[in-house]
Amino acid sequence: MTNDLNYHEPIAPDLARSRPRLAIVVPCFNEELVIRETVSRLVGLLRDLREKGQVASESFLFFVDDGSIDNTWGLLRELNKSDREIKGLKLARNFGHQNAVLAGLLTVRHRADCVISMDADLQHDEQAIYSFLDKYRQGADIVYGVRRDAGNAPISKRLGSSIFYWLMSSLGAKVIKDHPDYRLISAKVLDTLADYKEVNIFLRGIFANMGFKSELVYFDVHERFAGTTHYSWAKMIGLALDGVTSFTVAPLRMIAIGGVLITLGALAIAVFIVVSALRGDVVPGWASTVLPIYVLGGLQIMTIGLVAEYIGKIYSEVKQRPRFISEQELK
Q: What is the pLDDT of residues 235-270, one digit of tens each?
A: 666 666 666 666 666 666 676 666 666 666 666 766
What whole-number distance in Å separates Cα of residue 99 and Cα of residue 193? 13
Q: Pairing state of beta strands 86-91 and 183-186?
A: unpaired
| DSSP bridge partners of 90 | 65, 328
Confidence of residue 327 (pLDDT cuts 50, 70, 90): confident
What whole-number distance in Å separates Cα of residue 8 and Cα of residue 66? 27
Cβ atoms of 102 and 324 within 8 Å: the answer is: yes
Residue 3: per-residue pLDDT: 41
* Amino acid in the structure at residue 288: S
Residue 111: per-residue pLDDT: 93
Q: What is the DSSP string of 265-290?
A: HHHHHHHHHHHHHHHT-PPP-SHHHH
Residue 40: per-residue pLDDT: 94
What whole-number distance in Å separates Cα of residue 144 and Cα of residue 181? 8
- pLDDT above 80 for 276: no
Angle made by CA atoms 162, 168, 173, in degrees to the nearest 5:
150
Q: Pairing state of beta strands 22-28 and 114-117?
A: parallel
- pLDDT above 60 for 307: yes
Confidence of residue 183 (pLDDT cuts 50, 70, 90): very high
Cβ-based neighbours of 191, under 8 Å, separated by 6 or more? 109
Distances (CA, A) of 245 to 149, 202, 252, 304: 27, 10, 10, 14
What is the DSSP code (8-state) at residue 70? S
Residue 4: per-residue pLDDT: 40
Higher pLDDT, 2 or 57: 57
What is the 3 state secondary structure string of 98-131?
Answer: HHHHHHHHHHCCCCCCEEEECCCCCCECCCHHHH
Residue 102's closest CA among 214, 185, 225, 8?
185
> In the chain, what percentage of residues exceed pLDDT 90?
42
Distances (CA, A) of 35 to 62, 79, 215: 12, 10, 29
pLDDT digits (tens, 9 = 90+) for 56-103: 999 999 999 999 999 999 999 999 998 989 999 999 999 988 899 999
The model carries a pTM of: 0.73
Residue 200: per-residue pLDDT: 78
Cβ atoms of 37 and 225 within 8 Å: the answer is: yes
Distances (CA, A) of 135 to 15, 63, 110, 217: 15, 24, 22, 8
Cβ atoms of 149 and 180 within 8 Å: the answer is: no
Residue 140: per-residue pLDDT: 95
Residue 2: per-residue pLDDT: 39
Residue 182: per-residue pLDDT: 94
Which one of 129-138, 162-171, 242-251, 293-302 scores highest in mean pLDDT?
A: 129-138
The predicted model gives 42-46 an average pLDDT of: 95
Average pLDDT, whole number, for the chain?
80
Q: Across the chain, how many H-helices and E-strands are there?
A: 11, 8
* Amino acid in the structure at residue 209: N
| DSSP bridge partners of 70 | none
User: What stretch of H or E contains 184?
Assistant: strand 183-186
Confidence of residue 323 (pLDDT cuts 50, 70, 90): confident
